[in-house]
Amino acid sequence: MTERQAFVAVLIVGYRNSADIKKCLGAIARTVGVPGFDVFICENGGAGSYRTLVSDLIIQNGPCALFNREACDEWQTDRMPHVERLQLRTKHSNVWVGCAAENLGYAGGINAWLTQLLSVDGWKGIWILNPDTEPAPSALAALIKHAETAGKGMVGSTIMDSGRGNYARIRGGLHWQRLLGRCVAIGRGERTEVIPDISAIEAAMDSPSGCSMYVTRQCVEKVGPMDERYFLYFEDLDWGIRAKTFGLGYASDSHVEHQRGTTTGSAKSLSAIPKLAVYLEHRNSIHFVRAHFAWTLPIRIAASLLYAFRFLLSGAPRNFNASVQGLLAGLRGEIGRPGWYQDR
């Protein structure tokens, strides 16, 4: 955003999934109704994945073209030592692709760009997107409109699984059930053509979903960056809880398809869920509850144990162990990237 001031900064964290990001940028390039935006990508998967991502974006049928590299130095930091400047082929939008020095996790990948953007004038909000999403052309415009007309600091979209556009997976965001110690997606399974009760959804929201989250600059400046202690999982819910005083909103006309799980791994059976996902889900739930609802800690411990035995009864002993280990790590206060986890 050096030669012109973009209206919105679109932030994406990738991890060795260049095909997803290519499709996501293809969808973003069809955005309408927005004065201007730039895209900022942090690749967490290492130098090789970074080179693959840049190559895949600028090939003949890719969404981007190489652009002036002179401005890249200003974005390079110790956390993101290599940055490439591209441009969408169909819009005057820069696409800045940064290579993280190590796997920073989801919140760290967002913050690697966000902390720098806070010193840049001109942008009014950020749009955080999962790399395996494909937003509708009017998705961003709907988010901005609702944030401005309803006075909301964070706004979520209607999230749908790819190929199931008639059904919502998330309406706006997430709700933490205090007495059950678990997070639920608001509006899951509802038909998208049914007119939702916006006020009821916003009253229930504890956070927009990190799949598609628009955050105003004022909100970012007041609340601060994401909490990197989570590494993966719960960082969006934590951020939303912290921002509730600035208003959480739902732009029902902002439609975003989500492929789900291509970065962290998806599974159709309990035994196939990746160990890291299970471990961090249970570890970070303890960290989250301690930070925001400490009185419910015994409830969350019981919930984790119930989930663990569900794994065991379903023939998934590895994930039984992962959930118990994650629970114990959370009680010990472990944060950040787990010491046993090595990128592969």
168 contact partners, CB below 8 Å, separation of at least 6:
158, 159, 160, 187, 188, 189, 190, 191, 192
The mean per-residue pLDDT over the stretch 264-290 comes to 86
Together in a domain, 161 and 55: yes
Query: In the listed set 232, 258, 284, which residue is the last one of a domain according to the structure?
Result: 258
Together in a domain, 237 and 290: no
Type of residue at 337: R
pLDDT-based confidence at residue 2 (cuts at 50, 70, 90): very low
CATH code at position 188: 3.90.550.60
The mean per-residue pLDDT over the stretch 16-24 comes to 96
Together in a domain, 150 and 196: yes
Together in a domain, 283 and 195: no
Q: Indicate whether 4 pLDDT > 70.
A: no
How many domains are contained in the chain? 2
Strand segments (E) across the chain: 8-14, 37-43, 64-66, 82-88, 94-99, 125-129, 133-135, 154-161, 170-171, 173-177, 182-185, 207-208, 212-216, 248-258
pLDDT-based confidence at residue 67 (cuts at 50, 70, 90): confident
In a domain, 173, yes or no: yes
Determine the structural domain holding residue 313 and report its residue range: 270-332
pLDDT of residue 71: 64
